[in-house]
Each structure stands twice: as structure tokens, then as C-alpha cells.
């Protein structure tokens, strides 16, 4: 999610790093920063702090950070305080951050530095034991300047570099060796990291480490490079090394060396990249829609990072509402449009089921033109992928005037919805390019699930043990989505063939399945231009069944749930009229094959969490139908070519 770049070579590093960070902007972020290492001769004499180091013959480290866009770094680099550095430094690291531990502020932006200001670190991932490490480091005299977990790395590397005893308590073998100090620091950390570090005492060296967070390094004609995504390096080199877990790299202007966790030299495989920039942005996938569907496991993980405290209670520090204010909430409105509205339908089930608070879901375009019942104890939840939806903005402004508390769920930091809400959960979906929202929908559902759990926690309707269990199961959906992506492509393709020449389709389900069906129908319409409607399965006999004829596609969400038997009964009515039935069902369900022509299986999950997994087959189905019908799933709706079915 966060972006890492680094360069050491013969060219000015600042402009190169800024350009690479811009390449990573599609990932989404809320702050950015650079650390630049300069030789003594590169210091502006007017910069007295760094000039002192220069007189001592020492290289210097300059940190430039900003909240907001990378463009802010360019403005900072143009100031007198950083100008000479930007022109002359030939080694540096950069970062774009999505807030996890700590708010999106300058203080929390990367890079983070050691107490002596000589070491800087950028980091992607999560340090699970950072609280214990921070407390221990503070006891040893380290002073922290941010709320982040990453800063722990800067101080751990500093200790190792200065010669503190190693993790086994023996004499240090890392003093004065940045690469060895990074390896030693990693032995103390539990969690995931993609890491790059520089030290003013080793100008020109970048130390890199990887565990469970992508890191790519490469050698070009003008120097050595590191990034968290190959797209940042594609102009410099086409031959890259994708580090494996537990591997380390030392970059210098002369080249790159690789070691394992014990410091032994290794020779990792080199991968040649033959993508163009457009393909690189797609990550090798055939289109952005497929890429974004496949990013959903990461979206689940990233949206949940840092949300559960060690006490077992939910911790949403950007909420903006106190526990006392939340405890007074007696009515919830979820206002949204399109896909976000369908996420709201799921939230209604969760909020009423877990927190026992009445919840209504309304299209923002309708909410703003009527006179809803709003009091100071009303919570209005505004859901918007872009954070700029005009109807949603107008609705929350009206709600605030009437005294409601407003909570936003959006993918864009600093967007109008985020600014005008009392609190916000960011979905961490990164930039979404495909016209059909997929990963943002999943991020919204996960965020709304967190909100429902938080309300239930505040109201005392769920115990800490229940919260912890549900949170763990929510996290498990990331792996379950990946399982669907890995095992159900063939089943999706077969089902899509049955829809290819259809003129219309019907989506049905009950309970949570009904809300999922609405999203499935919308996706099919958006990308394949095939008419589709969604109904609660129990409403089939009240009109829709009259449309069923032989071969008519009926797509059913028929996962195991309290209403499973009733859903199957409704499908038998469609079967009797010759419908082609496509079912999304739970693994191990053989009964469904007696009524369905095609079955796409999903792992068994709690009914309350089924929308996160059961929607994925419908997204895949919509895309596959669109491809079979000759539609460009990456093309904006108003530019898409006409559909021709051969």
C-alpha cells in the first residue's frame, strides 16, 4: 500500500525520487517524504546546521516531508533550506504513506530518523510488537517524535550501528556497518516490513530488507535503485530482483550485493521485465478491473491494520467521536449512491443485528430532498469511494445543520467527505481505475463492518471476546478471497458463457444475499451492457417470475444461511420454467447441483461476513461476460464501444 523508492548513483537524487513517487501515486497515500544524503562539499554554507558537519568532513542527512500530495515535496525542495541538497545529493530514499499507526501529519510522515539524526528509514508493513519495542527503547533513553510503528526501526538500527549488544546479548558485530545494523534490527521485530535505510556516515549506501512486504531492486546505467513496485523502476532498468522474505540488499553507486539473514552472500534470480508502462501499471493483469479484483485480499488486510488494540477492543483513532457520543446514538442513516449504497444495505443488517440500533439506508440523491427525522443522537454515515459525490456531500451538509453526527467512509484522504465529517474510516483501497468499483466496495463493506462492531462494543451488545473473534474472522476473509481467485476461474468462465448471448439476467438472494445480488446486477450492467435486475428471492412470485423463459440466466446467491432452504425453493420455481441457473454456493454443498446448471463455490463463512466473499464471484462473472461480449472493461462508460455479440 505505502510506496518506497530509493536511488544511489551519479545523478541528482531528489528529482528522480519525486518522479518515482509520482509513479506510485495510483496506490493512494496521505503524506510523502524524502531523505537525501549529501557529501560535505554539497552543503550550502548558509545552512549552518549542516555546514558544521561539512566542516568536520561529515556527510549530512536532509529530511523533507509533507502531509498531502507529492507535489508538496516539490514545493519544499524549491525552498532555500533544501535547494542545494536537491541539486547535489546523489543518494536518497522516498516514501508515500497511508496512515496506520498515527494520523496523516508531517510528524508521522516517513522517513523517520534516529535520535542523532544520522540514520533515516522508510518502511511498508506493520510492526506487531512495536508498543513493547517502543517502551523498551524509551527506557534506554530514545526519544520518539512520531506516533508511528516505523520509528522503532530507526532507533533499533541506531543502537546496532553504535555498537549496542546484539539480540543474543553478545558483543556487537554491527558497529559502523549499516547493512549489518539493519539485519540486527530485524531480529527484534515481529511483523511485516519492506525497508530501506540510509546513514550519513555511509554516504551512497542504501540498506534494504524484506519480510511479507514487496521490495524490488535493480541496477541501471546511472546507479542502483529500490522500490516497492516495479513500475517505479521501469524507466531505469528492465532487469530486477524481487527480494524474498528474509533477504537483504546493499545498494551503492557501484552495484548491489545480496545477503541472507545471517549475512551470507546470496545470488537471487534476476527477472527481466518486458512490460510497457501501461502494462506495468496493471501489474501484468490483462485489465485494471481484473487487477483491482485481485487486490481485494490486500484491501481487507490494510483496512484492518491497527484496528484491534491489545485489550481486544476496537481502536479507530480517526473516529472523531467519543465513546460517550457513540453510546448516545439511537438511529443510524447510511447515505450513499450506487455501489456504496449496496455496501450500506449490508451495513444495515450488521448494525441492527449486532448493535441493535435502527438503521436506514437511503440514496443520497433522495435523502437530501426530503425531511428525515434527525436529532443530535442521530449518526449519519456517508459512504463514497471518491469522497466527492455531490449528492452525498449535500446530504451530509444538511444532516450537520440539523444536528446529526456525521461519519465518513471513503477511499480518498482529504476529500470533501473526509473534511466535512466528524470522523472517517479510510478504506485503503488505493486508486481505482476500472469503471466498475470492486476493491472499493470490499473496503467499504469491511469498514462498515468495523463500524457495526464498534457500535455494538460501545452499546455493550457484544463482549470483548465476541469482538475479537469476529475481527479475526473478518481478517480471515482476505485468505478466503484469495482462495476464490485461485480456484474458481474455470467455473466463472463456464457460467459466463451461459450469459454471453443473453438479453437480460436476474440476480436473486435472501437476507445478505439480496444485497449482494443488487451489487452483482449493477456490475453486470456497468461492464457488459447486459440488462440485469436484482430481487429478493422471496419476491420472485410477485412479478419477476413472469419473465423467466428457457435459457434465461438467473444468478443466485445461495450460500449457507438461515434462509438457504427457502432460496433453493425459489430456484426450483425458476428451474421449472427452464431458467439457466448460476449459483454462488458454499464449498461442500452438493444439494445445490441438483437445481443449478453452474456453481461457483466460496469458502464457508459466518453469514454476517458472507458479502465480502460472495461478491467476488459476481465481480469475476461480470468481467468475464464483458470480455466475452467484446466490451472494454477499462474504458469509461461514455467512451465504451458498442457491444456486438457474434
As a whole number of Å, the end-to-end CA separation of the chain is 41
Q: How far is CA 92 from CA 4, 63, 121, in A?
A: 11, 10, 10
Gap between the Cα atoms of 361 and 382, Å rounded: 10
- Whether 572 is catalytic is no
Gap between the Cα atoms of 409 and 317, Å rounded: 14
Strand residues in 348-499 grouped as ranges (E): 359-363, 378-384, 405-410, 423-426
Q: Which of 2, 66, 359, 631 is catalytic?
A: 2
- Whether 641 is catalytic is yes
Q: How far is CA 303 from CA 300, 446, 559, 593, in A?
A: 5, 7, 25, 36
Q: Which of 145, 173, 572, 641 is catalytic?
A: 641
Gap between the Cα atoms of 178 and 160, Å rounded: 9
CA 604 to chain centre: 24
Write down the residue that cell numbers 549475512 correspond to: 263
CA 405 to chain centre: 26
Cell of 626: 464483458
Gap between the Cα atoms of 556 and 507, Å rounded: 6
Write down the residue that cell numbers 438511529 correspond to: 331
The most distant pair of C-alpha atoms in the chain lies apart, rounded to whole Å, by 89
- Residues 6 or more apart whose CB falls under 8 angstroms from that of 626 comprise 527, 528, 529, 633
Q: How far is CA 217 from CA 181, 234, 282, in A?
A: 20, 11, 19
Residue in 319, 317, 307, 344 with CA at minimum distance from that of residue 515: 344
Q: How far is CA 61 from CA 28, 129, 585, in A?
A: 27, 28, 57
Residues known to be catalytic:
2, 641
Amino acid at each position: 500500500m505505502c510506496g518506497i523508492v530509493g536511488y544511489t548513483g551519479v545523478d541528482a537524487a531528489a528529482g528522480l525520487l519525486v518522479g518515482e513517487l509520482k509513479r506510485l501515486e495510483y496506490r493512494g497515500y496521505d503524506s510523502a517524504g524524502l531523505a537525501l544524503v549529501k557529501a560535505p562539499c554539497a552543503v550550502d554554507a548558509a545552512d549552518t546546521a549542516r555546514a558544521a558537519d561539512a566542516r568536520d568532513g561529515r556527510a549530512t542527512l536532509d529530511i523533507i516531508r509533507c502531509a498531502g500530495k507529492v507535489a508538496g515535496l516539490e514545493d519544499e525542495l524549491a525552498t532555500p533550506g533544501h535547494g542545494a541538497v536537491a541539486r547535489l545529493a546523489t543518494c536518497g530514499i522516498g516514501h508515500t504513506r497511508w496512515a496506520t499507526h498515527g494520523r496523516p501529519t508531517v510528524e508521522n510522515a516517513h522517513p523517520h530518523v534516529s535520535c542523532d539524526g544520522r540514520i533515516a528509514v522508510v518502511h511498508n508493513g506493520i510492526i506487531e510488537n512495536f508498543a513493547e519495542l517502543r517502551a523498551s527503547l524509551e527506557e534506554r533513553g530514545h526519544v520518539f517524535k512520531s506516533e508511528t510503528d516505523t520509528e522503532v526501526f530507526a532507533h533499533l538500527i541506531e543502537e546496532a550501528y553504535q555498537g549496542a549488544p546484539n539480540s543474543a546479548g553478545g558483543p556487537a558485530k554491527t558497529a559502523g556497518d549499516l547493512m549489518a545494523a539493519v539485519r540486527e534490527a530485524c531480529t527484534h521485530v515481529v511483523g511485516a516490513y519492506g525497508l530501506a535505510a540510509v546513514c550519513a556516515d555511509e554516504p551512497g549506501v542504501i540498506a534494504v530488507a524484506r519480510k511479507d512486504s514487496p521490495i524490488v531492486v535493480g541496477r541501471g546505467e546511472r546507479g542502483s535503485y529500490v522500490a516497492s513496485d516495479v513500475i517505479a523502476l521501469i524507466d531505469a532498468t528492465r532487469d530486477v530482483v524481487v527480494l524474498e522474505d528474509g533477504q537483504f540488499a546493499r545498494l551503492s553507486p557501484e552495484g548491489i550485493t545480496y545477503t541472507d539473514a545471517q549475512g551470507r552472500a546470496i545470488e537471487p534470480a534476476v527477472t527481466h521485465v518486458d512490460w510497457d508502462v501501461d502494462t506495468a501499471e496493471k501489474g501484468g493483469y490483462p485489465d485494471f478491473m481484473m487487477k483491482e479484483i485481485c487486490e481485494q485480499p490486500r484491501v481487507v488486510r490494510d483496512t484492518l491494520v491497527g484496528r484491534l488494540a491489545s485489550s481486544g477492543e476496537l481502536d479507530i483513532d480517526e473516529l472523531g467521536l467519543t465513546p460517550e457520543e457513540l453510546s448516545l446514538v439511537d438511529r443510524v442513516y447510511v447515505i450513499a449512491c450506487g455501489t456504496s449504497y449496496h455496501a450500506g444495505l449490508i451495513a444495515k443488517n450488521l448494525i441492527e443485528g449486532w448493535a441493535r440500533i435502527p438503521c436506514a439506508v437511503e440514496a443520497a440523491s433522495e435523502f437530501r430532498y426530503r425531511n428525515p427525522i434527525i436529532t443530535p443522537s442521530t449518526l449519519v454515515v456517508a459512504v463514497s469511494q471518491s469522497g466527492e459525490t455531490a449528492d452525498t456531500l449535500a446530504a451530509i451538509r444538511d444532516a450537520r445543520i440539523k444536528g446529526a453526527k456525521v461519519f465518513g467512509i471513503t477511499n480518498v484522504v482529504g476529500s470533501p467527505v473526509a473534511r466535512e465529517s466528524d470522523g472517517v474510516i479510510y478504506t485503503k483501497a488505493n486508486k481505482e481505475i476500472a469503471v466498475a468499483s470492486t476493491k472499493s466496495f470490499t473496503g467499504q463493506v469491511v469498514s462498515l463492518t468495523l463500524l457495526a462492531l464498534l457500535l455494538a462494543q460501545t452499546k455493550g451488545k457484544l463482549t470483548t471476546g465476541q469482538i475479537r473473534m469476529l475481527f479475526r474472522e473478518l481478517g480471515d476473509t482476505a485468505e478466503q478471497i484469495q482462495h476464490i481467485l485461485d480456484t474458481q476461474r474455470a467455473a466463472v468462465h463456464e457460467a459466463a458463457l451461459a450469459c454471453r448471448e443473453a438479453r437480460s439476467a436476474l440476480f436473486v438472494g435472501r437476507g445478505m444475499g439480496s444485497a449482494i445480488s443488487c451489487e452483482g446486477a449493477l456490475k453486470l450492467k456497468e461492464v457488459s451492457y447486459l440488462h440485469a435486475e436484482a430481487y429478493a428471492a422471496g419476491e420472485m412470485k410477485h412479478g419477476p417470475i413472469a419473465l423467466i423463459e428457457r435459457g434465461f440466466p438467473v444468478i443466485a446467491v445461495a450460500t449457507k444461511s438461515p434462509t438457504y432452504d427457502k432460496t433453493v425453493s425459489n430456484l426450483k420455481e425458476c428451474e421449472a420454467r427452464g431458467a439457466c441457473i448460476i449459483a454462488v454456493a458454499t464449498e461442500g454443498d452438493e444439494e445445490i447441483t441438483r437445481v443449478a446448471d453452474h456453481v461457483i463455490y466460496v469458502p464457508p463463512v459466518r453469514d454476517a461476513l458472507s458479502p465480502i466473499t460472495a461478491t467476488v464471484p459476481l465481480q469475476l462473472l461480470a468481467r468475464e461476460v464483458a470480455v466475452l461480449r467484446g466490451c472494454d472493461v477499462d474504458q469509461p462508460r461514455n467512451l465504451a464501444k458498442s457491444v456486438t455479440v457474434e
